[in-house]
Amino acid sequence: MKFFSGFCLENESELFDEFLDRSDYSVAGFSLGVIKALEFVNECENRVDKLQLFSPAFFQDKDEKYKRVQLLHFRKDEKSYIENFLKNIAYPSTVDMKNYYKKDTIDELKKLLEYRYDIDMLNSIIKRGIKIEVYIGVDDKIVDHKKVEDFFKQFATIYILKNRGHTING
């Protein structure tokens, strides 16, 4: 299994052990890692049977002002931004996300805020026989779980988890 980490994170795959398919033919990603996992699978010529997407970074429903404000806050006070971000992705769990923290760049934040999911890429992945699963928490403080569900339901099996947030922990 190949796993792609979220923004400002590393080695957090253990948070998803309850759901992860750890076979040699599975690829998974969390949040920003969803984007990286999709791009990897799209370019990969090796066998992939399953693509697991945990809490996709989904901001194409947000306006430009929202995105500018996020970038402005990151530039102005990165430490405070990251502390708040780690708290929000953990909610409602008590997981200390600082254990998984890895410094990241404004360019990575910009990439996840501006990314637009490519319908043709998703259809191409499906046509290759790759099963896509999307996991979203109802209590997610980062993305709107309903918008994620509405977008991905035509491409994937959707798992909506009550009392769970962005990290899918209760």
d(CA 47, CA 24): 9
- The answer to whether the peptide bond before residue 92 is cis (omega within 30 degrees of 0) is yes
Secondary structure E strands in the chain: 2-4, 26-30, 50-54, 131-137, 157-161
Predicted pLDDT of residue 170:
67
Query: Using CA atoms, how far apart are residues 61 and 51, in angstroms rounded to an integer?
Result: 23
User: What pLDDT shows up at residue 70?
Assistant: 97
Model confidence pLDDT, tens digit, residues 47-106: 999 999 999 999 999 999 999 999 999 999 999 999 999 999 999 999 999 999 999 999
In angstroms, the CA 31 to CA 97 distance is: 14
Average pLDDT over residues 142-168: 97
Q: Which CATH architecture has domain 2-161?
A: 3-Layer(aba) Sandwich (3.40)
pLDDT digits (tens, 9 = 90+) for 126-144: 999 999 999 999 999 999 9
Q: Mean pLDDT score of the chain, rounded to an integer? A: 97
* Straight-line distance from the first to the last Cα atom of the chain, in angstroms, rounded to the nearest whole number: 24
